[in-house]
């Protein structure tokens, strides 16, 4: 008895989801965004520390100048 099976067809078109390549590209883009955010955060905090140091030095110089003026 011959069985009549339909030919195997790929169900890939019916399946949802992402391919491995799409997932890897998405992860790479996410990694780049996170790296840029970390870089900007470190840059901003470094600028804040430099500004604070500069203001502190300026205030110290101003107070020293006032001592000589009095």
Interval 14-26: pLDDT, tens: 678 999 999 999 9
Nearest to 24 by CA among 16, 32, 13: 32
What pLDDT band is residue 38 in, cutting at 50, 70 and 90?
very high
> Distance between CA atoms of 44 and 11, rounded to whole angstroms?
51
Query: Rounded mean pLDDT of 46-51?
Result: 76
Q: Is the pLDDT of residue 37 over 80?
A: yes
Domain boundaries, the chain: 22-53
Q: Model's pTM, two decimal places?
A: 0.51
pLDDT at 11: 58
Q: Is the pLDDT of residue 28 over 90?
A: yes
């Amino acid at each position: 008895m011959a069985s009549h099976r339909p030919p195997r067809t790929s169900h890939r078109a019916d399946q949802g989801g992402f391919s491995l390549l799409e997932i890897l590209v998405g992860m790479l883009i996410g990694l780049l965004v996170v790296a840029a955010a970390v870089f900007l955060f470190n840059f901003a905090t470094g600028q804040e520390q430099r500004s604070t140091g500069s203001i502190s030095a300026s205030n110290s110089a101003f107070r020293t100048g006032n001592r000589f003026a009095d």
